[in-house]
């Protein structure tokens, strides 16, 4: 009841420090992901230079070259390639 009343009065709930911490953690994770994907992006550039430009074609080429997915398991899919290229 007290929290609902505070919300109605316009009181901002939560810690501003927590919001800053979350933002810093997101930025750190994004930087880590971008750095980890760089070797694969180099391979993708090589694949594209060979004339393969569709996302599914790139995924098949990564599979053929034995490049592991970011999780290290499973097969490459077009959506994964799209995300990897977007994270540049």
pLDDT digits over 69-85, tens only?
Answer: 988 888 999 999 999 89
Asked if residue 47 lies in contact with residue 41, where contact means CB atoms within 8 angstroms, the answer is no
Q: Both tokens of residue 9? A: 């009065």
Please give the share of the chain, as a percent, with pLDDT higher than 90: 51
Alpha carbon distance 39, 19 (integer Å): 32
CA distances from 47 to 20, 22, 37, 57, 58 (A): 40, 37, 15, 9, 7
CA distances from 79 to 14, 37, 71, 83 (A): 36, 15, 14, 6
Q: How confident is the model at residue 88 (pLDDT cuts 50, 70, 90)?
A: low
Q: Inform me whether the pLDDT recorded for 19 exceeds 90.
A: no
pLDDT digits over 20-34, tens only?
Answer: 888 899 999 888 888
pTM: 0.67
Please tell me the predicted confidence (pLDDT) of residue 82: 95
Please tell me the predicted confidence (pLDDT) of residue 11: 86
């Amino acid at each position: 009841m007290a929290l609902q009343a505070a919300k109605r009065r316009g009181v901002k709930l939560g810690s501003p420090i927590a919001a800053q911490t979350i933002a810093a953690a997101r930025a750190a994770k994004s930087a880590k992901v971008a750095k980890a994907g760089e070797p694969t992006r180099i391979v993708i550039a090589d694949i594209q230079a060979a004339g393969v430009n569709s996302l599914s074609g790139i995924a098949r080429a990564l599979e053929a070259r034995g490049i592991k997915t970011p999780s290290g398991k499973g097969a490459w899919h077009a959506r994964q390639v799209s995300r990897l290229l977007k994270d540049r």
